[in-house]
Structure 1
């Protein structure tokens, strides 16, 4: 769910709004990630070293690690962006809007934009094959889901006091989103086109968030 296709993390503000130093930092991160992705696509994740990525990106290995603490994060690089988006949707939701409604809106917006975090785009299957072929990447993807769940639980605890169990609410929401993501990814890996998958993905998202809303309503009635 947290995977990318070599895009830079972070979504707040356009590059033109950032100071020059930050723009350069993001450009370097983007170049490293893009270079790593191409090498992994050509040769597989496990056979490419960080030193090779650094040489190809024309930076030092230390620079690579400054941007990506772990080799796996060179490919699964949208963890910070996912955390920012999901927690931001909860923290900055409109007055009277429930957390689940805000997260549903985010999910549908991601689908509409064909954002990598939506999981629906014809360009994504090659990336997923790299992940599926590497035990290390699969393990990192699972950790990323746990990180997102923990961050969302904290945001819910701070902004939705009506929820009796924020951690359970976060777990239900992330699990529901992940289930829809994985189902659509499987169909794309099997050869379906994104335009054919998108309508069902949208319907599944709505059904998933409906289920989460019913579950949380039950929790509120039976604290």
Structure 2
């Protein structure tokens, strides 16, 4: 379905506000910038900022990121398991230098800004918890697991770990001033190593049937 003019303008306004906010946060620090300053930089009112972002942290780490793993698994191909879908997506994002993984020249400043803001670190923890919880619920539903079956949660925990390990490696190498191409090469090697460590109970869990 084609995007309407109203939806496009809303998306563009949201992006303009977020871009202006991140520029200010990287330049001066997350805690040093007010919402009023973000509004001024984006040429909108303070109320408009809050119409699009309920909290200041949402400007950097939107809450919807917590559904990332469940969304990837829900969209997997027939014959593909949950873990295989996440591994495939991560490899695709690495190869195209996706900003979602921090594979851009300006990520070092952004990463340093986040590490210096306790509320953003807390938000990252919250997102990771929600990722695992949402994925656990999806896997339990798709496999018909009972409420006392620990396997969906254990598999979700392994997938959450591999996702977090990729992000951690990106941050470590960014702090070491490696360029995005070098980081990407290391991440692809890491993903191969992780896949080799995961056992068949994880790699073959929740394979999507051809009829779904």
> TM-score normalized by structure 2?
0.85
Which residue, 67, 70, 73 being the options, matches 1:87?
70
Q: d(CA) in 2 for partners of 1:104 and 1:70?
A: 32
Alpha-carbon spacing, 1:218–1:87, altered in 2? closer, same or farther (3 Å): closer
Alignment of 1:1-223 (within 5 A): 17-77=2-62, 79-81=63-65, 83=67, 85-161=68-144, 165-214=151-200, 216=202
- 1:219: Cα distance to partner? 9.0
- 1:195: Cα distance to partner? 1.2
Question: Which structure ranks higher in relative contact order (CA pairs < 8 Å, sequence separation ≥ 6)?
Answer: 2
After superposition, give the CA deviation of every residue in 1:163-201 in whole Å (9 maximum; x if it has no partner).
Answer: 852222112111122112212221121111121222221
Report the aligned-residue RMSD: 2.4
Aligned residue pair count: 203
For the residue of structure 2 that corresponds to 1:46, the secondary structure is helix
Is the Cα–Cα contact under 8 Å of residues 65 and 127 in structure 2 kept in the other structure? no
Is the Cα–Cα contact under 8 Å of residues 89 and 103 in structure 1 kept in the other structure? yes
Paired position in structure 2 for 1:4 = none
- 1:104: Cα distance to partner? 0.9
After superposition, give the CA deviation of every residue in 1:117-171 in whole Å (9 maximum; x if it has no partner).
Answer: 2233322111001001111111111111112222222222222447852222112
Structure 2 gap ranges (5+): 207-212
- 1:70: Cα distance to partner? 1.3
Is the Cα–Cα contact under 8 Å of residues 176 and 209 in structure 1 kept in the other structure? no
Is 148-157 or 138-147 further displaced after alignment? 148-157
